[in-house]
Structures are given as structure tokens and as C-alpha cells.
């Protein structure tokens, strides 16, 4: 495992240079959804990572967001070449490279690389989480009126319309609300104590595979409340990430009037 972690650390500087120096030439709309885009640089970064990882570790396979097929294997890299593509395209900040490594469908470690800030988050299953090689402390337990919520409008309306949630009440009870636009960075913001709740109605495995490891290693929690099956899959899911189980329970009391048992 250490060899794989060291290898990822060794290739991130060259990937960063690639992302920051190349120019976007093509933007593709995926699935006929104007807000779901991929650039030619997403694809370039993914291809570069796949080549590097499979050459260094030929007994592993890569499941990447921009791949045509998504197949699970016993030794598997799960990568999102640029999480927060719209931020990358419009703002040139708040996007990340997400790389998780799983064996037998269980998490081993995960990297989230905030490219512009040059911040490297690393979570190692049952061994802690780190930011730029400095260990992150376990998160404090906060009340709702101390908590910062990260959620976008699409998720808000889905909660209200599909799940009859009282989002308005939540908005009056939280300390503040934000929306970063990158699931990986948002969950790492919780891990470092800057935010407390992240909710998204439309994430896939590569969006959260690495950041989930980081967050859980500091006492945070990740939930899929509307999914009957909790094992790995590549379909779009509704995800709740919180700094503690207590925050999740308090959130559900506000959303639904009682604990969401699903």
C-alpha cells in the first residue's frame, strides 16, 4: 500500500502542471444535459492517470468517470480526473483530482487533490486522514446552529418535491450555507472542520470514493438514505455527508420531523 501512496504523491506535480498549463479546446455536453459537461482536458488527465497507474501496477484496473465501461475488479482504482468540471471551465479554481484505491470492493486509501490550492488530502482506511502530510484531528460534534451546509438548488428542489423535506426550516436553523461545486472538495472541507453538512442528489461513485475515506477517518459519516442497497454501484445516488452522526440525526429531524430510518 505504501508504494502506491508514494507513487500517487510522485505523479501529482506533473498532473498539476498538465492541468494548469494546457488550454481547453473542446467542451462536450453529456447525456443531453447542459449542466453535465466534460472537457478534452478531463479526458487527457484520465488517460494520463490510467497509463501511469496501470504501467506502475499492472495487476490493477482503473474505473474512471470518462471511461466507456465501468467494471469492478478486486484491485481497483476509482478516479475522477476533474471533479468540479464547471468550476474548472468557468472559474479556474475549486476543482479536484480524485483517486481512490479499493481491494475486494473495500476502501484502502483515497487522494483528493485541490489542484489550484495545491492541497493534497489523503485518507487511509483505519489509519487516519492527512492534509499536506499533516494529520487531521477528529471532528468536534456541533449543533445545527453551529453547522455550515453545502447544497445546490437542484438538490434543494429534489428534496422538497420528491421527498417532501422541509428545507426551508433547515435554512433557518443552520449557521450558514454554501455551495462549492465539487463533491470531493466539499467533503474534504467537512473533514478539515470548515463545513459540517454536504448534500447532493446526483453523485456517482467516482465523485465520492476518495473523499469518503478522508471524511470517515476523522469521524465524519456518509449516508445514502434513499438507496435500498448500500454496496458499490455506478448509478447516480443521493448522498448526505456530515461531520458526525449526531448532526445527521438532527438534520433529519428538521427535514422530516423525525429520524429518517431508510
* Model pTM score: 0.93
- Is residue 261, in this structure, part of any structural domain at all? no
CB 81 within 8 A of CB 109: no
- Is residue 197, in this structure, part of any structural domain at all? yes
Phi and psi at residue 69, in whole multiples of 5°? -120, 145
Question: pLDDT at position 32, please?
Answer: 57
**Per-residue pLDDT tens digits for 112-122:** 999 999 999 99
Give the closest residue to 208 by CA, choosing from 244, 240, 178. Answer: 240
Domain holding 226, by residue range, is 144-256
Residues 55 and 60: their CA atoms lie apart, in Å, by 9
Please, what's the b/e burial string for 205-235 (b: 16 or more CB within 10 A of its CB; e: otherwise)? bbbbbbbbbbbbbbbbbbbbbeeeeeeeeee
Question: pLDDT at position 262, please?
Answer: 39
Give the count of domains, the chain: 2
**Per-residue pLDDT tens digits for 184-236:** 999 999 999 999 999 999 999 999 999 999 999 999 999 999 987 767 888 89
Same domain assignment for residues 14 and 123? yes
What percentage of residues in the chain have a pLDDT greater than 70? 94
The band of 260, judged by pLDDT with boundaries at 50, 70 and 90, is very low
Same domain assignment for residues 220 and 243? yes
At CA 137, angle to CA 170 and CA 95, rounded to 5? 65
Please, what's the b/e burial string for 153-190 (b: 16 or more CB within 10 A of its CB; e: otherwise)? eebbebbeeebebebeebeeebeeeeebbbbbbbbbbb
The band of 259, judged by pLDDT with boundaries at 50, 70 and 90, is very low
Q: Is 35 exposed, middle or buried (0-12, 13-18, 19+ CB in 10 A)?
A: exposed
CATH of the domain at 240: 3.40.190.80
At CA 121, angle to CA 112 and CA 225, rounded to 5? 65
**Per-residue pLDDT tens digits for 64-120:** 988 878 889 999 999 999 999 889 888 889 999 999 999 999 999 999 999 999 999
- Is residue 262, in this structure, part of any structural domain at all? no
Amino acid at each position: 500500500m505504501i508504494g502506491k501512496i508514494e507513487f500517487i504523491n510522485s505523479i501529482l506535480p506533473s498532473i498539476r502542471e498538465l492541468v494548469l498549463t494546457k488550454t481547453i479546446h473542446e467542451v462536450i455536453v453529456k447525456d443531453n444535459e447542459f449542466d453535465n459537461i466534460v472537457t478534452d482536458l478531463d479526458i487527457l488527465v484520465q488517460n494520463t492517470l490510467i497509463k501511469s497507474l496501470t504501467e506502475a501496477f499492472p495487476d490493477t484496473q482503473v474505473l474512471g468517470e470518462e471511461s466507456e465501461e465501468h467494471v469492478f475488479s478486486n484491485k481497483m482504482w476509482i478516479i475522477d480526473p476533474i471533479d468540479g468540471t464547471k468550476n474548472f471551465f468557468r472559474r479556474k479554481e475549486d476543482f479536484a483530482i480524485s483517486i481512490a484505491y479499493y481491494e475486494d470492493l473495500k476502501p484502502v486509501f483515497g487522494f483528493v487533490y485541490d489542484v489550484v490550492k495545491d492541497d493534497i488530502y489523503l485518507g487511509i482506511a483505519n489509519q487516519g486522514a492527512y492534509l499536506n502530510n499533516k494529520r487531521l484531528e477528529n471532528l468536534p460534534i456541533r449543533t445545527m446552529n453551529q453547522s455550515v451546509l453545502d447544497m445546490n438548488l437542484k438538490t434543494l428542489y429534489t428534496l422538497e418535491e420528491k421527498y417532501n423535506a422541509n428545507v426551508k426550516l433547515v435554512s433557518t436553523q443552520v449557521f450558514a450555507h454554501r455551495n462549492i461545486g465539487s463533491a470531493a472538495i466539499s467533503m474534504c472541507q467537512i473533514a478539515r472542520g470548515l463545513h459540517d453538512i454536504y448534500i447532493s442528489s446526483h453523485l456517482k461513485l467516482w465523485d465520492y470514493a476518495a473523499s469518503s475515506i478522508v471524511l470517515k477517518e476523522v469521524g465524519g459519516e456518509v449516508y445514502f438514505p434513499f438507496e435500498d442497497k448500500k454496496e458499490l454501484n455506478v448509478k447516480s445516488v443521493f448522498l448526505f455527508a456530515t461531520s458526525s452522526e449526531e448532526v445527521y440525526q438532527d438534520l433529519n429531524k428538521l427535514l422530516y420531523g423525525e429520524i429518517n430510518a431508510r
